[in-house]
Amino acid sequence: MRQKGFTLIELLVAMAVGGVVMAGALGAIYQVIWGTSRTNSQVVALNDVHQAALQLKKDLLTAQTTDLTDGVPRDYVTLEWTDYTSFDLEENKDHTSSYVLSNGELRRTYDGTMSIVGRNITSVNFTQDGRVINVVITATKGGMIPRSETLAFSAYMRGGGLE
């Protein structure tokens, strides 16, 4: 008499093979989920630091004076310049732009109007060496595994006024 079915050994082997396959599949899913999260955090941090730097560079290249002291690092700066694009010298306009880090946001106040130029910013550092302004900005984004991006650049301020 023949009985149909599987032996205990066959069932144990099938369960072991199934367990190995499941462990591999779960490991791959885990890597995809955490890898995507890390990559997204890094992309956001990189984008935030570049957006902040873009506006800063525009103002730094236009600036004629700052409130920085040579060689003394600070986390805020005020830039000033005169717009000489008018043909009438009496219509030339003075501008002021200030940058300050507050609650992870780099805030710019331009002629009295505040705007946010960078989010997820964890540090900003300004130093001046003559007419050269050095800036280091760091942005950090992420939950479980935060990712940071740091950007350092220098800008040469333009000269004083009309000669």
Please compute the mean of the pLDDT values over residues 18-29 and round it to a whole number: 90
Lowest mean pLDDT among 36-40, 78-82, 159-163: 159-163
Dump the DSSP string for 46-57: HHHHHHHHHHHH
Q: Which residues contact 58 (CB under 8 A, 6 or more apart)?
A: none
Mean pLDDT value of segment 98-102: 94
Mean pLDDT, residues 13-33 taken together: 88
The secondary structure of residue 131, as a DSSP letter, is: T
- Per the CB < 8 A criterion, the answer to whether 97 and 59 are in contact is yes
Q: Which of 85, 80, 74, 63 is nearest to 132 (CA)?
A: 63
CB 68 within 8 A of CB 86: no
Q: Which residues of 93-105 are buried (b: 16+ CB within 10 A; e: fewer)?
A: eeebbbbbbeeeb
Mean pLDDT of the 95-116 span: 94
Q: Tokens 């490991």 — which residue?
A: 27
CA separation for the pair 75, 63 (Å, rounded): 18
- What is the Cβ-side half-sphere exposure of residue 84, based on CA atoms within 13 angstroms? 10
pLDDT at 13: 92
Average pLDDT over residues 105-116: 94
Percent of the chain scored above 70 by pLDDT? 91
Q: Which two tokens stand for residue 103?
A: 């609650």
Q: What is the pLDDT of residue 56?
A: 93
Token code pair at residue 78? 């005020």
pLDDT of residue 76: 92
- The rounded distance, in Å, linking the Cα atoms of 121 and 59 is 18
* Local confidence band at 150 (pLDDT 50, 70, 90 cut-offs): very high
Average pLDDT (133-145) is 87
